[in-house]
Structure 1
């Protein structure tokens, strides 16, 4: 599903990055699936979807997509040959819909996840969106629903991108409402398809 590079150096770098992604450790509640990557943004790319499931493995708590792009020509806006493009989405409690700092909190969850993993990055950018859905007429018996979506991109400073994927998974777990793992507890490899 990953697009394959053609140059020898690009091939080596991208294969190293793919190995780092596949070696990433994620919580058992997380299911990662490699999906077709975009083909027009960069010469080389890999994409994964992530779903955070409840303890029974039945209900989806959060979902998202993680895309790693590699362009050896180092596009100027990226600040290097690598770019991560992500989104993460989850339903939240209706009470938070009007919280004026919800966007700041969502962004801080991403920043904290990246900092806790100790990754080196530049050119981070993104948005936090909240969607409030209210139903009327024949649908008025439905309760108000609130979704948060965090779209973010950043440029890793090397091919050690496994930690970037792990940080993104940490964000997914946070917006999905999972408590952080206690200190000293290591996540087992997540389910992959």
Structure 2
């Protein structure tokens, strides 16, 4: 019997819906090991936003499934996410940044029609200052968003699409309206 036949039918449907998601070219998604202790079944995707060789944001999207359900989740599925991006000092020092990061996530889910319950998370600003032999490095401010929610149903593609959009937002990429494809950035003589 193939491994797919050993997976619960609901988890197979969820995996099939994830395969339908198409993300923008700057966002590179790859399957990474899923945490084994959180649920009987899981899949995890790692993401990087790369522009001109610079990493602008990273993240993880984890889909957990327990056919018996978990009381804390309020269902049989749980999505756990992580996003991290470095920000410019004027943005990173804004005391409302955590509120904004959370609002970006909720808005992205709503825009994609991703129905969910039991959402929770944390937004963290991290200031890195360098000293000694590293003193020449500029200060850096990162934002991290760790969030989880319970999707309703087995169609997970709207959730992954919303998450991919928020990773792009964290990276500072302009939004792309539905049906529009961005052309690759062309290097001008000034860029060389």
TM-score (norm 2): 0.88
Tell me if structure 1 keeps the 8 A contact 2:92–2:143: no
The superposition leaves residues 89-131 of structure 1 with CA deviations (integer Å, 9 ceiling, x where unpaired) of: 0000012232110110111111111111011100000000010
Residue 125 of structure 1 corresponds to: 120
Q: Does 1:72 align with 2:67?
A: yes
Q: Choose the corresponding residue for 1:87, options 59, 82, 90.
A: 82
Instruction: Report deviation, 1:65.
Output: 0.4
- The higher radius of gyration belongs to 2
Residue 23 of structure 1 corresponds to: 20
Residue 162 of structure 1 corresponds to: 157
Q: Structure 1 residues 102, 152: closer, same or farther in 2, change over 3 A? A: same
> Number of aligned pairs?
180
Higher relative contact order (CA 8 A, sep 6+): 1
Q: Choose the corresponding residue for 1:48, options 33, 45, 50.
A: 45
Residue 189 of structure 2 corresponds to: none
Residue 142 of structure 2 corresponds to: 147
Q: Distance in 2 between matches of 1:169 and 1:5?
A: 29
Instruction: Provide the aligned C-alpha RMSD in A.
Output: 1.7
Q: Which runs of 5+ in 2 are unaligned?
A: 183-192
**4+ runs of 1 displaced by more than 3 Å?**
3-6
Tell me if structure 1 keeps the 8 A contact 2:49–2:168: yes
Q: Distance in 2 between matches of 1:4 and 1:151?
A: 30
TM-score (norm 1): 0.88
Tell me if structure 2 keeps the 8 A contact 1:4–1:45: no
Q: Which runs of 5+ in 1 are unaligned?
A: 188-193
Q: Choose the corresponding residue for 1:32, options 29, 32, 41.
A: 29
